Copies of this chain bind each other. A is one copy, B any other.
Amino acid sequence: MNGIWKIWAPRAKDIEVVANGRPRTAEPLGDGFFRADTPPIEADYQIRLDGKPRPDPRSRCQPDGVHGASRWCSDEFAWSDENFRAAPLSAALIYELHIGTFTPEGTFTSTIARLPHLKQLGVTHVELMPVAAFPGHHGWGYDGVALYAPHPQYGTPKDLKRLVAACHELGLGVLLDVVYNHLGPDGNYLGEFGPYFTARHKTPWGEAVNLDDEHSDVVRQFFIDNAKMWLKEYHFDGLRLDAVHALFDQSAVHFLEELTAEVHTLGTSLRKPLVLIAESDLNDPRLLHARDAGGFGLDAQWSDDFHHAVHSLLTGERTGYYADFGSVEDVARALTHGYVYDGRYSKFRKRVHGRPLGDLLGSQLLGYIQDHDQVGNRAQGERIGHLTSPGLLRAGVALMFTAPFVPMLFQGEEWNASAPFQYFVDHQDPQLVEAVRNGRRSEFAAFGWSPDQVPDPQAEETFRRSVLDWGELEKEPHSGIHQWYSALARLRAQTPELLDGRRDLVNVHFDEAARWLVVQRGPVTLQVNFGQSAVQLPRPVGQAVLSFPEHPSGDDFVTLGPESCSIWKA
């Protein structure tokens, strides 16, 4: 029993659908749409665009990769998560992972075995880096081109559903990173079908996705339907939207606003909250404001300012965008203002940047000291734990868990994994390989790295090096770090005041010269000495629940040694 299927291909004169080797002409419906009978379930098929065989832009499965035939998959799956509801973001601990390097096998299925570790750690939401199919075996996933199909090396659509189901079974929510601002450079056939891209705006990747030019209604719907597919058919609990600052849209209803409205309406009909989290470089609270207040209504956004403030303070790095950070005050500002740059002049950007968050909550920002970009976009992909002292690393972790933000971890950071997260690709086109290799080298030449210090992104060992080694989790010093993360996650989960996103309730004191900072939130006090000299601070109420290293405290004072921290609870 076949259904009817509509294909949008305004740039094609005629279209055939070839299923199981048998071509059938599709009937033009006008406005660039064609109508065809759906292929049989599990059949392989291709769309012949004026004779050229192409994968279906909405293909749900590309068993032989993004250039090959599409497979018409059944949506059937034995779900049993009707009653599952993910934790609210205000109480969340998010864990970002990359399917290909999280486990040695690098598949949806192999990921399942590691979920109990996350649950034990206190994670509430797993966030998968993009899983949409891209060319080659391995890659970060931001070069996806078959946006409706899971990357075949990770597994089948059914495997991905099993992973989501396993998370829900354990009480873990699952978020998916989706990339709507560009498509990868290889295997992107969309432009042959229709005006998915426009020269009206430029992005770092070339022509922008067409969100406001002729025929943009259909293009917008393509991405909105994609979002809804992951949420509805795969039961994801929310999406992370890659680099929304590269979504250019001058329409009176911005694409993000339309997407938010559609996704939240879907959530209402599914009777579960669906969240949208933006990666944004804009420091613009409009993204988070409610739609009826002139905003786009997104639930939360990644905020690099907290990361940069902590990273530059812990490592002393001041190159690139870290030029804008480095003071204890920046960390204090992040904790109380959310954005460090909220209308202040940025040396790095050479202009005033951002706008105050106003009464938006800290829990609408994600706070992290590692993520795939901040680790992976370094020449050698080092984690913060590879770059700073054990004391300062622990201080950074404590800052994150006591901040008013939603904490987010990047795979392996909870034991300061030895594996870096390097930039790896598996492009098929030699010219593209060379361009990416040289691009990477010249990017870091500007920071003084010689070409041989920059790992070759195309080399398989670059990928392999980035795979987590789970064996080290139980070994020192990793196990000690892991305990630190676990204890802080527990402290946070058990202290309602730490889950309260109101930034005006965050009490921060610091001394720039003496290099100490104290954060007080309800019963919890965090004391940090970033400096090289011991400092004496007033003894907080209650008792020290976590300290590194152990240090003496008298009746009235606590002596914090160099690069140390202490957490007290009343």
Contact = CB atoms under 8 A, between A and B. Distances in A.
A225 interface: no
A351 interface: yes
A295 interface: yes
Contact of A283 (B199, B252, B289): B252
Nearest to A354: B252
Contact of A286 (B212, B252, B285, B355): B252
A352 interface: yes
Contacts of A353: 251-252
A27 B455 CA distance: 47
B252 A282 contact: yes
A285 to B, nearest CB: 7
Contacts of A285: 252
Contact of A284 (B200, B217, B252, B349): B252
Interface string A378-392: 000000000000000
Contact of A294 (B202, B213, B250, B295): B295
A477 interface: no
A345 B286 contact: no
A144 B186 CA distance: 45
A258 to B, nearest CB: 10
Contacts of A284: 251-252
A215 B345 CA distance: 10
Interface string A194-224: 0000011110000000001111110000000
Contact of A217 (B215, B345, B355): B345
Interface in A346-360: 349-355
A1 interface: no
B214 A349 contact: yes
A253 interface: yes
Given A200-B202, A202-B200, A350-B215, A355 B252 contact: yes
A318 interface: no
A490 interface: no
A343 interface: yes
A213 B352 CA distance: 10
A551 interface: no
A350 B217 CA distance: 8
Given A202-B202, A294-B294, A217 B352 contact: yes
A73 to B, nearest CB: 31
Contacts of A293: 293-294
A215 B200 CA distance: 23
Interface string A2-16: 000000000000000
Contacts of A509: none
A558 B294 CA distance: 47
A245 interface: yes
A345 B217 CA distance: 9
B215 A253 contact: no
A295 to B, nearest CB: 6
B289 A351 contact: no
Contacts of A201: 201-202
Contacts of A350: 214-215
A349 B213 CA distance: 8
| Most interface-central of A285, A293, A350 (chain B CB within 10 A) | A350
Interface in A330-376: 343, 345, 349-355
A215 B252 contact: no
A459 to B, nearest CB: 34
Contacts of A202: 199-202
A540 B217 CA distance: 44
Given A202-B200, A294-B293, A253 B343 contact: yes
Contacts of A216: 351
A216 B349 CA distance: 10
A217 B201 CA distance: 22
Contact of A355 (B200, B245, B253, B295): B253
Interface string A247-260: 00011110000000
A12 B295 CA distance: 41
Contacts of A349: 214
Contacts of A354: 252
A555 to B, nearest CB: 48
A214 B282 CA distance: 14
A400 B355 CA distance: 41
B252 A351 contact: no
Which 9 residue pairs spanning A and B have beta carbons closest together?
A: A294-B294, A252-B355, A252-B284, A214-B350, A216-B351, A217-B351, A252-B354, A217-B352, A215-B350
Given A214-B349, A250-B282, 13 more contacts: A202-B202, A215-B350, A217-B351, A251-B282, A251-B284, A251-B352, A252-B284, A252-B285, A252-B343, A252-B355, A253-B343, A293-B294, A294-B295
17 contacts: A199-B202, A201-B201, A202-B202, A215-B350, A215-B351, A217-B345, A217-B351, A250-B282, A251-B351, A251-B352, A251-B353, A252-B284, A252-B353, A253-B343, A286-B294, A293-B294, A294-B294
